[in-house]
Amino acid sequence: MNISVVIPVFKPDKIIFDKIRAKLKEQKYLGKIETIIIEKGSGLSTHINLGIKKSKYDIVVVLHQDCIPTSSKWLKLLVAPFEDKNVVASVSRVEYPEELWNKLNYIVKGLMVKEKGVITSSLDGKAVAYRKSSLNNIGMYDENSFKTAGEDYDLYIKLKKIGKIAYPDASVYHYHPTGFAQRIRKVYQYSNGYGALTRIHWTNMILWYVGIIKAVPFFGLITYPLSYPWKKGGLAIFPAYLASSLIDHLYYIFGFWKGFIDGKQTVR
């Protein structure tokens, strides 16, 4: 199989981006690899759609500008599931580097604890492969409804209706340095996307009602201790998690209901 790798970029960290390029050159893959870097677009979804339209091959890998493959076999492992004609997407695991985690202050660790270590999501757009024909079938990324958040879960809901989504043993390091203000901004952005998703997809979403409960002022705070990842944070991070949940809850409320009422994600 030949592969097109699409990398949407916006003011990338040069050191990280150079490592991504170097790691792509190291990939032990026998097929042809086309790399497309997209710098223009009015949002992440638009960036990616532009890259997909430019791609020559039916297997398209979308890789974010801050995600470095963990091995030279990443690409081979990621696209292997496409040997099955029913597979429409293949999703990488995402690992938050320990070196970045150790640099976070205590409160930010409380905000970030769910992202500690390795995450396998339903469809994380940071490092995922698609069958281009399947993307064309569903209208590609919905750039009208999702600018910078929610677009990958929207794809998950649509793609799982037409084929299988694979989760191979392929992973990337997510080098995304985060401070308190940056993380709170992300809470606002992500919740805005989740509100739009809930408005658009409702019961097609897994545990859709949890997002609504979490967006109820004060009452939604009960969801925080119930969803704490004890295996990741343990007792040490729990106080920081509870303390940060107050500000997290506030931004989540505003972001979620803005997305739900607007019916689209707009926070950048």
What's the rounded Cα separation, in Å, for the pair 159 and 62? 15
Between β-strands 171-174 and 164-166, what pairing exists: parallel, antiparallel or unpaired? unpaired
Bridging pattern class, strands 33-38 and 87-91 = unpaired
53-100 residue pLDDT tens? 999 999 999 999 999 999 999 999 999 999 999 999 999 999 999 999
- What is the spatial distance between Cα 167 and Cα 117, in angstroms, rounded to a whole number? 17
241 domain residue, yes or no: yes
Instruction: With respect to residue 138, please indicate whether it lies within any of the assigned structural domains.
Output: yes
Is 178 a member of any domain?
yes
267: in domain: no
pTM of the model: 0.94
**Burial class of residue 23 (count of CB atoms within 10 Å of its CB; 0-12, 13-18, 19+):** buried
Query: Using an 8 Å Cβ cutoff, are 99 and 175 in contact?
Result: no
Question: pLDDT tens for residues 19-66?
Answer: 999 999 999 999 999 999 998 767 899 999 999 999 999 999 999 999
Does residue 127 lie in a domain region?
Answer: yes
Decide if 120 is inside a domain.
yes
Inside any domain, residue 117: yes
Owner of token pair 């695991």:
93
Number of domains in the chain: 1
Domain assignment present for 268: no
CATH number at residue 114: 3.90.550.10
35 is in which domain, residue-wise?
A: 3-262
